[in-house]
Chains A and B, each alone.
Chain A
Amino acid sequence: MFLLAAEEAAANSWLYDNAWLIPALPALSFLLIIFFGKRLPNKGAEIGIAAVSAAFILAVLTTFTWMGDIRASFDKKEEAQVLTVDGEEAIAVVLTAEEGEVRGAPIINEVEWFGIGTDANRTTLGTEANGHGQPAGGEGETHADEEGHAEEKAFSISIGTWVDGQSVMMLFVVTFISLLVHIYSTEYVKGDRRYTHYFAFLSLFTASMLFMVLSSSTLQLIVGWELVGVCSFGLIGHWWEEKDNSDAALKAFLTNRVGDIGLLIGMTILYFAAGQSFSIKTINEMAVAGDISKGTLQIAALCLMAAVMSKSGQFILHTWLPDAMAGPTPVSALIHAATMVVAGVYMIGRLYPVFFVGFGIAGGTINVMAFIGGLTCVGGGLLAFVQRDLKKVLAYSTVSQLGYMVLALGMGAYTAGLFHLFTHAFFKACLFLGAGSVSHACHHSFDMKADMGGLRKYMPTTFATFMIGTAALAGLPPLAGFWSKDEILVGAGVWPGTEGNGTYTIPFIFGMLTAAMTAAYMTRAVWLTFFGDYRGHEEPHESPPRITVPLVILAFMAVVVGFFNMPKQFVEALRLPSRFALAFEHWVEPAGVATFVSKEANKFTHAKPSLSLAVVATGLALGAGFLVWNYYKRLYAMDPKATEYTNGLASRIPLLATGHKVLENKYYLDHLYTGVIAGGTKGPLARAANWTNQNILDGVVNLVGVTSVSIGRFVYRYIDQGVVDGAVNASGSAASSFGQLLRGMQSGQVRQYATLLFGAATVMVAVFIFAV
């Protein structure tokens, strides 16, 4: 039985060991498109699609293998427990099952990237496969530590792949959505002047994201993190001829720099705290074991939170994300909704022990992460109400949902946060691509109030998929968003009978508010876009199949992915096989959490699902949606073309009017950043620079000038005229007088020469005779 298992494992491990192929294929495709893309019949798009398809197939195979392995380990454990009752052989089985592997432990393959120092103990070049649960990474370092030979430790940095539930999940999501976006883009950016460049960047982005997802060390994570940032910059500014677009790209890049400082500092702290190790595994293990002090972890976690705030659009560094919608819509769907912006959330999950211990999530009531997440999901949701631009609504909705994920992770609801990441990727990509399809029909406008309305009659497929996406986002059962949102709310541990990691009352209230708001603003967006009368100029038309087919696929996913993590009670009530219960949790969770389940001080607890909470949350969402629906219905009855009351509540009540103004100005954050912070530093900085220029720099320059002139004079007078010229003249006259001296000998008289010759010969003969 064990032999069979071993053989099976060997076959499976090919996929695990060669996971590097998944990012390598799009990277190769990037190079090919850049160099040869323009000469190909489809301008490089075919290479991108082929490479991403191959990566997708590999990712799917890896995902299924992983799911199979987890299932097998479950079966083995159950079998082992049954056998324990009987006899001696059974005990051996139990031991093997327990010793052999931690379920869902990451499979890490590392190759040395570069190293400095003695190579006596260093792990040599080449792939070193580590089995389940064995110590991975810098073997040299481990030896050195054990034997206490710190001076023998070679400084080596490895690059590798880390395959576990979390990364496999992301591999699937990234390749899946990237593939659909590639196909969609062939239609959407058709005829664009930088078509090839666009596809090259899509490939590079996919490669970078996969590279980051698979990173086994914090350094690799940083590299991937920055690479996706660069791609994001390039794609937001794809149409850089318009100043707004290049400004948005710059804003995204610069805002991310602010957070990246936090990332670098945090990772550096962790590097030194973990005994100079970049290995994520080492850092996590040490954080769990208490080898790193809680204070250090807290500071590191706070620094990393800054990075999460910028990359994952958390308050107050979210301002770049809505502006990033200046990029092409498929890019918004892929990068600024489904994949890149969740990098921060992914990083929290990857280093979860650091955050879990650092913020003291177990048994807490509020912490920085949960608070920022809560603030973001409410603040982003409110902003979504006042947007005219359909994509901006979705952008703020993304901000809000990212806040939800961070909120979940901040409350210790690890699976819930990552599950929301998973489901959100599908329905938000569906919504964005739907918005793109609408804009394709409405002559490239995203203005809901001016150019849309009543589109459901003109574009039924887009409408249907958009509705499914909306319902999933609003969290209506049984669509994807319902399951993940419900898990997050349960994870707060506030509702009676849920028992989470603590009692997160304030985050819970934020979460409930957001649940209601999400339904409300999405209802508004849907009404303005698809209901009422068409307000645009020309007749809109349904998009071609290369746009609608990805939409249908994503809508289908938005319906089904929620079923991957149904609560146990629900599965039992429906009499489904028990393997359907909490499947996602089993696939994804152990990687991050199994290592510290055992530790009492930081005990990780799962919350229990609650039917009443699900009913209340759904009721809130439906109620809020209904209110907004009613508002617009009455408005329509008054005037079919109207999009808002001319004399509504917001203009009559001063408090609401102020609130509306604050929201329209996006909480004045942009004013704060560009006006107060940038402007406030710009003036004094310029004056200081001018003063420095006039007094210090010019002074130095003048001083240097005057000094060089006088040095020059001195040099001319004494060194050049005296020493150099003197030497030249002296050597000339010496040669001349010596020549005069020798001149006498050159008489031209052959006889004189002959005399000298014979004289010399005589002397030589004398020397030979008398000296030898």
Chain B
Amino acid sequence: MFLNQFLFLAAILFCIGVYGVLTRKNGVLVLMSIELILNAVNINLVAFGAFHQHLSGQVFALFVIAVAAAEVGVGLAIVLLIYRNRRSINVAEANILKG
């Protein structure tokens, strides 16, 4: 079976996403990196679903897409508000919770 290839792809995608989340300073790019992570998960779900001849994997993938859409909505709203208040979307500057 060719499950491994999908899993590798997903792992690489996940790593890129994580890297993006951790290193990018632009808020929008952080959100996009999160999308990459979620899609890595979607690939895994679909691959396992196909591998096990079961529809639940694909159904879950659909749910994740829906949740990801919602998450992006919320996330972009936050970024927009930060921009409005600080004229910048640099997440490194949004540090008013510093102890």
Contacts and interface: CB of A to CB of B under 8 A. Distances in A.
Nearest to A745: B99
A750 B91 CA distance: 7
Contacts of B23: 751
Interface in B32-81: none
A737 interface: no
A743 to B, nearest CB: 4
Interface string B75-99: 0000000000000000110111111
Interface in A733-755: 742-751, 754-755
Most buried by B among A744, A746, A749: A749
B22 A748 contact: no
A758 interface: yes
Contacts of A754: 21-22
B31 to A, nearest CB: 12
Interface string A153-182: 000000000000000000000000000000
A748 B97 contact: yes
Contacts of B99: 742-748
A754 B97 CA distance: 15
A755 B98 CA distance: 16
A755 B97 contact: no
A208 to B, nearest CB: 82
Contacts of A758: 18, 21-22
B97 A746 contact: yes
Nearest to A753: B97
A751 B98 contact: no
Contact of B22 (A745, A746, A747, A755): A755
A754 B95 CA distance: 14
Interface residues of B, dominant DSSP: loop
A751 B94 contact: no
Nearest to A750: B91
Contacts, number: 35
Nearest to A747: B98
Interface in A84-131: none
Interface residues of A, number: 13
Most buried by A among B21, B95, B99: B99
A747 to B, nearest CB: 6
Interface in A656-698: none
B91 A751 contact: yes
Contact of B95 (A742, A748, A755): A748
Contacts of A742: 99
A743 B98 CA distance: 8
Contact of B92 (A744, A745, A749): A749
Nearest to B37: A758
A745 B97 CA distance: 11
Nearest to B94: A750
Contacts of A746: 97-99
A745 to B, nearest CB: 7
Contact of B96 (A743, A748, A755): A748
A493 B91 CA distance: 129
A749 B91 CA distance: 7
A739 B52 CA distance: 52
Nearest to A743: B99
A748 B91 CA distance: 10
B62 to A, nearest CB: 24
A758 B30 CA distance: 15
A738 to B, nearest CB: 13
Interface string A629-648: 00000000000000000000
A769 to B, nearest CB: 14
B26 to A, nearest CB: 11
Interface in A713-772: 742-751, 754-755, 758
Interface in A475-532: none
B71 to A, nearest CB: 15
Nearest to A761: B18
A749 B24 CA distance: 12
A743 B97 CA distance: 11
A150 B49 CA distance: 90
B14 to A, nearest CB: 10
Contacts of A743: 99
A758 B94 CA distance: 20
A747 B94 CA distance: 10
A754 B21 CA distance: 8
Nearest to A739: B99
A754 B30 CA distance: 11
A463 to B, nearest CB: 112
B89 to A, nearest CB: 12
B41 to A, nearest CB: 13
A743 B95 CA distance: 14
A62 B16 CA distance: 114
B37 to A, nearest CB: 10
A749 B92 CA distance: 6
Contact of A749 (B18, B21, B95): B95
Contacts of B21: 751, 754, 758
A766 to B, nearest CB: 15
B7 to A, nearest CB: 15
Contacts of B30: 750-751
Interface in B7-23: 18, 21-23
A744 B98 CA distance: 9
Contacts of A747: 95, 98-99
Nearest to A742: B99
A755 B92 CA distance: 14
A745 B99 CA distance: 8
A751 B97 contact: no
Nearest to A762: B18
A745 B95 CA distance: 13
Contacts of B22: 751, 754-755, 758
Nearest to B21: A754
A748 B98 contact: yes
B86 to A, nearest CB: 13
A746 B95 CA distance: 10
A418 B18 CA distance: 117
Contacts of B94: 748, 750
Contacts of A744: 99
A379 to B, nearest CB: 103
Contacts of B97: 746, 748
A409 to B, nearest CB: 101
A749 B96 CA distance: 9
Contacts of B96: 748
A754 B91 CA distance: 12
A231 B3 CA distance: 108
A483 to B, nearest CB: 112
Interface of B: 18, 21-23, 30, 91-92, 94-99
Top 10 nearest A-B pairs (CB, nearest first) are: A746-B99, A748-B95, A748-B98, A748-B97, A743-B99, A750-B91, A754-B21, A755-B22, A751-B22, A749-B95
Given A746-B98, A748-B94, A750-B30, 7 more contacts: A743-B99, A748-B96, A749-B91, A749-B95, A751-B92, A754-B22, A755-B22
17 contacts: A742-B99, A745-B99, A746-B98, A747-B95, A747-B98, A748-B95, A748-B98, A749-B92, A749-B95, A749-B98, A750-B30, A750-B91, A751-B22, A751-B30, A754-B21, A755-B22, A758-B21
